[in-house]
Amino acid sequence: MRRPALTLALQAYRTGLWIGEPAVAGVLAWRAYRGKEDPRRVAERRGLPGRARPVGPLVWMHGASVGEVLSLVALVEGMIARGYSVLVTTGTRSAADLIGSRLPPGAVHQYVPLDAPRWIERFLDHWQPDLAVVAESEIWPNTILALDSLNIPLILVNGRMSERSFRGWERSPRTAEALLSRFAVCLAQTEEDAARFAKLGAPRVSIVGNLKFDAPVPPADPQQLSYLGSMMAGRPVWVAASTHQGEDAAVAQAHATLKARFPNLLTVLAPRHPRRGAEAAACAEAAGLTSARRSAGGRPHPNIDLYVADTIGEMGLFYRLSPLVFLGGSLVPRGGQNPIEPVRLDTAVLHGPHTGNFTQVYDALDRAGGAASVADGAELADFVGQLLADGRRLAQMAKLGQRALVPFEGAVARTLAVLDPFVAQMKLLGLHAVHRDRA
């Protein structure tokens, strides 16, 4: 099928990043200096490989940040079970730190190169993937065009397009079509996502559901689970997870409000970005609370009111230690955070009104009674107090939440079923290459 021609906007984008590569390199160096890039591996962001390519057919899977890449783990395992190596790329340090311990043998991790033409070409020349899979809403023009020029099939999985993003792309429909038409398949989470991708020019769109419903629960170190569990024993505990700026103070104030009623209350506050640990601790101090930071070796001793869990990859630990979690990014307009993991770990969920990133799952949880919405910090304190005083209600919420997730499961199997014909083609091409080499 003939691809739509590149628009002037795409041509300008490609030319600008080609000419402006030194400036992009300067931005990358500045980010490394600020700690936003891993200085030991920053060359990978320029397409320079950090290790050798595995022998044989290779699937490249990309998830930009923590949520996206974790949703790919089951697909990675599925490809390895089918006999293929997998290259997993991420764009953030937190995702790289987390995914390193989650990947099975047969998968390797690299940072994804920035979308500069020479860097993408260098990356593809080394890794030579037979199939490319990207998660959710990663639409990088130069990467898409480079894969298309090499006839490497590109598949969008767990596809998501917000109304805001759709309206933005609608203002440049020819550019959107020129890019989306180069995807072999777009697998969308919902009917709304599928309709938006199709309207913008994606030629083959299917609805398979959300991979995050099938993602494995986050692990927990058994020793830490036992140690912290014994330290917290006998105390009412709740977790405020993935909080953003503006929410830490509300959480600290909620604890201060509840302290007279629950003198030994422990609040575990896990900021979305661990580097904000000192800021979260300062909010506790401003509310007249004692705090300790996990990253600094602090522990939730009996005299600690607010324990700042400013580390990476330990949410599975704290979800297991608490019957109640408030998920941040929802009292402030950030779209909310994924509630699936805590629900699957027997935790009742509270959230604010801003949950646009996960509308479908929050609606289902709220209707079932497995989650509840709070309007502000005062209502958060009120709800936390009600639930901590009623263990039976907490346990019932957790059960209802798990039940609400069941109808959404199965996206991994449906996605692998779509990928299998591409995998079969890879196998066929591999056999042809072997016969050609022997001849």
DSSP readout, 97-133?
HHHTTTPPTTEEEEEPPPS-HHHHHHHHHHH--SEEE
The tokens for 179 are 């890019």
* Percentages of the chain per state (helix, strand, coil), in multiples of 5: 50, 15, 35
φ, ψ dihedrals at 268, nearest 5°:
-100, 120
- CA angle, corner 53, sides to 51 and 54, nearest 5? 120
d(CA 119, CA 154): 18
Query: What residue type is assigned to position 80 of the chain?
Result: I
Is residue 209 within 8 Å of 414, Cβ to Cβ?
yes
One-letter identity of residue 334 = R
Catalytic site includes residue 379 = no
- In terms of Cβ atoms closer than 10 Å to its own Cβ (0-12, 13-18, 19+), residue 19 is exposed
Q: Are 319 and 325 spatial neighbours (Cβ–Cβ below 8 Å)?
A: yes
Contact yes or no for 408/213 (Cβ under 8 A): yes
Of the residues 37, 44, 68, 247, only one is catalytic, namely 68
Which element (helix H / strand E) includes 118? helix 117-127
Q: How many helices (H) and strands (E) does the chain have?
A: 19, 14
Catalytic positions, written as ranges: 68
